[in-house]
Structure 1
């Protein structure tokens, strides 16, 4: 049966609806758009939570998050050997097709990460979904009119699915996944609204839930993120993941300037690993990338998951803006940085960084 859980606005991180599915939404020819009364939770008997792919990330592969690697001499920059990485990496540029249903903005990178899942997703594929959940918005479904309930300050009956004694919150990455949900259950007394992904995750963590199910009715493009993974991931994020969100938005003429402005206050990470070993002593280094013409780029990351996603031996280590400035002062042949190499990514040259580093 379909379940809804009543959650009070004043005890959650949910903000006023940023975007609601409404009666006036226009639809492409031949497509039916869910309206404010057209969304609900799929019956558990039809889509059991236990059948949804689980994020299978061991604590050892997630280990090292937020902590420095084994104590070692100060890390130095080291060249990175070119290697082929067989992973579900995102393209360098973010998607530009952000409406699978006219009038509803998708979380493009999250939608595409889910679409890349196979019938039996790998841990790396599901990790890709988790890291793309760290930015942007998702849609929630509510019993009744979500907009009216929010404006009236009433408690929200959010979509929850049960698996035995475990409960999972339901979220949706796109207009298409909302349409899939409506077509699955066809309950006319529900609505949907958009919320920042970090606010939804915080509600899961505060609500004694077992995790978050994304796009439950869009198999195989669906996934479950267990609460322990969400807890670890959220312990290392800024409140709004501003820098990563900018990277995941369609590129404009001022994208690089937005990135530069966000760098000042962003939580940054680098990938640290063994650069060399002699007489039993290990020398640690910070991962670089080399362009085809030999330029050196420091690899920066917006979250430890971005390091883990590359599935290399390095461990994530915090790297404050002051350390970034020191790196460029001490290494005159650094040509720039590449942020989030697993994608969407962006490159900034030394010249482009000069002004913001001088102001630090």
Structure 2
């Protein structure tokens, strides 16, 4: 299985924002898509330890001083996404993606780009269309979407909320502009199928904008769980009393990833989260990018639901799972995982 490389040099085509202008959107046949990569078996060997949700500083060998490691570790990321906001009424802001964009340094590196990419897999995204989009769609007419060009490449302008959309429309004097909002999975797939060279996120927001190239988007779609990224959406979405059971149901149907590392003998171990009280949970991730976001150099390893159930069943001392420890995350106790364990 081809996995994401932490040394991927894909990034935006320069720090200066190119001029943006609407352009006729020619209909394009969908590109041929490969099926999700086949799952690989993972040998059950000794499980390595890390402090839950605390990034690179959390990785520590079994014989290290736990107290010292915990004292040096950064703060745990938030368990839930920020409360939903609408800076423009009727347009829900993609708060997680906005936060990832705001966190970008002046010169983003690969890890920064991948962090934005992982958060671009959830929530709503928006594009601009000239004219009355609803009427055009009803008449079977193609939409005239706003794009920008840079060095003979074309990038679809994509927005995380109403404010950046309004700023973009204000820069244009081209008449009526419609907002088209869809799930992240649909917008990303549209950009790939229409053969854009990438998407330009929030191009008007200086210091919080980024181009995601199509090659990276394609990898994110093909090497993750099948769209619409159900598990990622559940963990990053609004939490209700039904969320834990919905997560467990998804775990019985969709593939997940675990963080694998090798010990001095070359054996592969799966990352485990342990609280100061000694509670043990297997770290599970909704996408390979979520593993890389931990910054520990672990290898994303795919597991089918049956394989995950076997890992849990093989060690009764494991108290459950923690999903997407880079945040937002959710913990599921072993007792709630009975539908998954039944697959072992």
Q: TM-score range by the shorter chain?
A: 0.7 to 0.9
Name the CA distance, whole Å, in 1 between partners of 2:269 and 2:343: 27
CA distance in 2, matches of 1:84, 1:170: 32
Cα 1:159–1:165, aligned 2, differ >3 Å: closer, same or farther? same
Counterpart of 1:239 in structure 2 is: 227
Contact conserved, 2:100 with 2:115, CA < 8 A, in 1? yes
Separation in 1 of the partners of 2:182 and 2:147?
Answer: 16
1:66-95 deviations in Å (ceiling 9; x for gaps): 6899x9x92424131447537998522111
Give SS of 1:173's match.
coil
Q: In the alignment, is residue 137 of structure 1 matched against residue 127 of structure 2? A: no
- In structure 1, the partner of 2:7 is none
From 233, 254, 257, give the equivalent of 1:266.
Answer: 254
Q: Is residue 2:160 matched to residue 1:160?
A: no
Distance 1:129 1:326, change over 3 A: same
User: Which residue number corresponds to residue 300 of structure 2?
Assistant: 316
Q: How does the TM-score come out when normalised to structure 2?
A: 0.80
Match of 1:252 among 240, 254, 277: 240
Distance 1:134 1:301 in 2: 13
Confirm or deny: 8 A CA contact 1:75 1:283 kept in the other structure.
no
CA 1:152 to 1:88, structure 2 compared with 1: closer, same or farther past 3 Å? farther
Is the CA contact (8 Å cut-off) linking 1:272 and 1:286 kept in structure 2? yes
Shift of 1:226: 1.0
Distance in 2 between residues matched to 1:132 and 1:197, nearest whole Å: 9
Query: For the residues of structure 1 that align with 2:216 and 2:232, how far apart are their CA atoms?
Result: 19
**Corresponding position of 2:284:** 300
Give the whole-Å Cα distance in 1 for the aligned partners of 2:203 and 2:327: 25
Which residue of the partner structure matches residue 25 of structure 2? 6
Are residues 300 and 318 of structure 1, via their aligned partners in 2, closer, same or farther at CA, if it must alter by over 3 Å? same
1:211 maps to 2:183: no
How far apart are residue 138 of structure 1 and its match?
Answer: 0.6
Partners of 1:319 and 1:297 in 2: CA distance: 16
CA distance 1:218–1:318, change in 2 (3 Å): same
Aligned match of 1:54: none
TM-score normalized by structure 1?
Answer: 0.77
Whether 1:174 aligns to 2:161 is: yes
Q: Which residue of 1 aligns with 2:338?
A: 354
Structure 1 residue 208, shift from structure 2 partner: 2.7
SS in 1 for 2:335: helix
Q: Which runs of 5+ in 1 are unaligned?
A: 14-64
Q: Give the superposition deviation at 1:251.
A: 1.2
Aligned pair count reads 302
Give the 3 Å change call, closer, same or farther, for CA 220–155 of structure 1 in structure 2.
same
Q: Write the distance in 2 (CA, Å) between the matches of 1:206 and 1:248.
A: 26
Does the CA contact (< 8 Å) of 2:39 and 2:304 recur in 1? no
Deviation at 1:187, TM superposition (A): 4.0
Cα distance change, pair 106–95 in 1 and its aligned pair in 2 (3 A): same
Instruction: Let me know the Cα RMSD of the aligned residues.
Output: 2.7
Q: Deviations over 1:160-195 (max 9, x none)?
A: 111121111111011122122123335432111102
Flag the 1:186–1:292 CA change in 2: closer, same or farther, 3 A: farther
Shift of 1:355: 3.6
Q: Structure 2 CA distance, aligned partners of 1:258 and 1:185?
A: 43
